[in-house]
Amino acid sequence: MAIKGYLGIDAGTQGLSVVFTDENLKVVGTGEATYAMVSALDEGCYEQLPSDWDAALSNAMRNLHAQINDALDVLAIGISGQMHGEVLADQNGISLGPARLWCDARNEAEENELTDAMGVKMPKRITSARWLWTLRNRPEIAQQTHHITTPAGWLAFQLTGEWVLGIGDAAGMFPIDQTTLDYDQALLEKYDSVAGHTTPLRKLLPEVRRAGQSGGALSSQGAAQLGLPEGIPVAPAEGDQPAALAGSLIGEAGMISCSFGTSVCANSVGDRSFSGVSKAVDHFCAPDGKPINMVWLRNGTTFMNSVVEMFGLAIGGSRGDGFEKVIPMLLDAAPDCGGIIALPFMDDEPGINVQRGGTAMLLGLNSENATPGNVVKAALLATMFNLRLGCEILDGQGFPRTELVLSGGLTKTPELAQLLADVFANPVTLLESAEEGTAWGAALMAKYRNQVLQGAESPWPDFLNAQATGSPQQYLPDTPSVAAYDGVYQKYKKLLGTQSMLDEAIHD
């Protein structure tokens, strides 16, 4: 008999993955395919061909079908993809060339101009800032453009023939009005005044849909591409961050999804819109439209990882050997790391006014505290402290902070969740699905779409709560440790105040 379940698709920066789950969202099979950046571009330019995503989806589905011998009875399909990309298509839905990605750095001037003109943060990653750059630098392409979408929106169009997008991914294209849960009309008018383009931006953007609403149905073209029957319902295509929130079962105001890796981000579910503009806080929406405030750090665990790998080489092994030996030492180190404080800036950090990298350093070393555990713990604490700095901006506006849900590299050492709980003085939760990924979050959104179609709709947060399985691990803050880490944090803030002088001493 055919296996009933849900298909999740995720188009990342380096490759595309698919997962097929059963009706309880247990993963039954997976498929993957990779693609590359467009080559020979200038520094800071990152582009990919939409046709490469299409080919990768076909290849990943072939891998999935080969892995599962039984027929698939797909009840619904979910899609996620890297946010903030600029995918341009003509009136016939034909791609107008390579898509600029979230990491493309070509429109910082447009970021500043739009933020000043509109009074809300318009980061250079937001698609509409990229479009303003295109209008000014590639007018011949702009004149042919009838549709602007994201990588997830492009895949959705290929599968359904409809230009629609989930509200979270749409918020990465243009700000959302929390009253209408659509693009902010007043801000659209301000944007059009700045852009001066003959076609209003709203006519080029996809329609906005929320979790549970229709994202279309699988067309004949989409069915051929996936090797599935026509007519399967598709959930609104979402960005990777909203899909990750869904996959972490985060839906209530005050919950924060916290991911530690090469970069670090904390996505906080808000109970209202953010007021004003902060360099440290970006904004988008959860799949149901709740506002999300994102604190993002370019300098994630890279400094810590580099130090650990250095110790791995020093003991005569490989770079990877350091983690097995040093992480237990980190866990045993005192909260003050014996007096060592670190700055982690191997790259710039715009949110806290660090203009360039190269000032990663350790201070306070002496003959007694110079141990691997103290050094590596100081490096990790520096990143956690930077994240706390950003989250305190949200505290200043009275946003709730009830629970941190941890994902990413730190989940490989669950005891580090206790460290995070003590630094933030908040409970930290590790879900059993912490490493399932955004494709699983896309499958979860497909399940919600199917539930709505079956007439069993429940509020989005209630639906997420009902998907929890097993026994999540929760780490509660330890009062003495909270006080100890807060003392180190106050010293760190004083050290951070000298960073610009340190940068000048090193680089000038």
For the residues 499-505, what does the mean pLDDT come to? Answer: 91
Going from N- to C-terminal start, the domains of the chain cover: 3-249+436-466, 255-298+391-435, 302-382+478-507
For the residues 416-420, what does the mean pLDDT come to? Answer: 95
* CA-derived radius of gyration, the chain: 23
Distances (CA, A) of 482 to 70, 243, 423, 479: 53, 32, 6, 5
CA 482 to CA 489: how far, in whole Å?
Answer: 10
Q: For residue 484, give both structure tokens.
A: 């100890």
Local confidence band at 437 (pLDDT 50, 70, 90 cut-offs): confident
Element (H, E) at 292: strand 291-297
DSSP code at position 48:
E
Q: How far apart are the first and last CA of the chain?
A: 70
What confidence tens digit (pLDDT) does each residue in 364-375 have? 999 999 999 999
Pick the CATH number of 255-298+391-435 from 3.10.20.740, 3.30.420.40, 3.20.20.140, 3.30.465.10: 3.30.420.40
Contact between residue 388 and residue 297 where contact means Cβ atoms under 8 Å apart:
no
Residue 356 CB neighbours (<10 A): 12
Q: What is the pLDDT, as a whole number, of residue 189?
A: 97
- Which residues fall within 8 angstroms of residue 315, CB to CB, at 6 or more apart? 321, 322, 325
Could you tell me where the beta strands, DSSP code E, fall in 310-436?
341-343, 361-363, 403-408, 428-430
Q: Pick the closest to residue 245 from 256, 231, 260 (CA basis).
A: 256
For the residues 403-417, what does the mean pLDDT come to? Answer: 84
Q: What is the pLDDT, as a whole number, of residue 474?
A: 92
What confidence tens digit (pLDDT) does each residue in 302-354 have? 999 999 988 878 876 666 667 888 889 999 999 999 999 999 999 989 889 99
Residue with tokens 């956690």: 384
Local confidence band at 229 (pLDDT 50, 70, 90 cut-offs): very high
Q: What is the pLDDT, as a whole number, of residue 114?
A: 97
Q: What is the pLDDT, as a whole number, of residue 61?
A: 97
DSSP code at position 145:
-
- Does the CA dihedral 188-189-190-191 come out positive or negative? positive
Q: What is the pTM of this model?
A: 0.89
Element (H, E) at 266: strand 264-269
CA 70 to CA 383: how far, in whole Å?
Answer: 46
Contact between residue 235 and residue 445 where contact means Cβ atoms under 8 Å apart:
yes
Least confident segment among 74-88, 240-254, 333-347: 240-254
For the residues 199-221, what does the mean pLDDT come to? Answer: 98
Dihedral, 37, 39, 42, 43 alpha carbons, nearest 10: 50
- Orientation of helix 302-314 relative to helix 321-332, angle to 10°: 110
Q: What is the pLDDT, as a whole number, of residue 471?
A: 76
Q: Is residue 59 scored above 70 in pLDDT? A: yes
Q: What is the pLDDT, as a whole number, of residue 320?
A: 63
Q: Is 270 exposed, middle or buried (0-12, 13-18, 19+ CB in 10 A)?
A: buried
Q: In one letter, which amino acid is 322?
A: G
Residue with tokens 């190269």: 358
- Which residues fall within 8 angstroms of residue 205, CB to CB, at 6 or more apart? 148, 149, 170, 173, 174, 183
Local confidence band at 434 (pLDDT 50, 70, 90 cut-offs): very low
Q: Is residue 128 scored above 80 in pLDDT? A: yes
Residue with tokens 């188009």: 11
Q: Is residue 175 scored above 60 in pLDDT? A: yes
Distances (CA, A) of 11 to 34, 51, 81, 172, 439: 10, 12, 4, 16, 8
Q: What is the pLDDT, as a whole number, of residue 366?
A: 96
Q: What are phi and psi of 245, to 5 degrees?
A: -60, -45
CATH topology of domain 3-249+436-466: Nucleotidyltransferase; domain 5 (3.30.420)
Q: In one letter, which amino acid is 9?
A: I
Q: For residue 166, give both structure tokens.
A: 């989930």
Residue with tokens 């909260």: 335
The yes-or-no answer to whether 3-249+436-466 and 255-298+391-435 have a common fold is yes
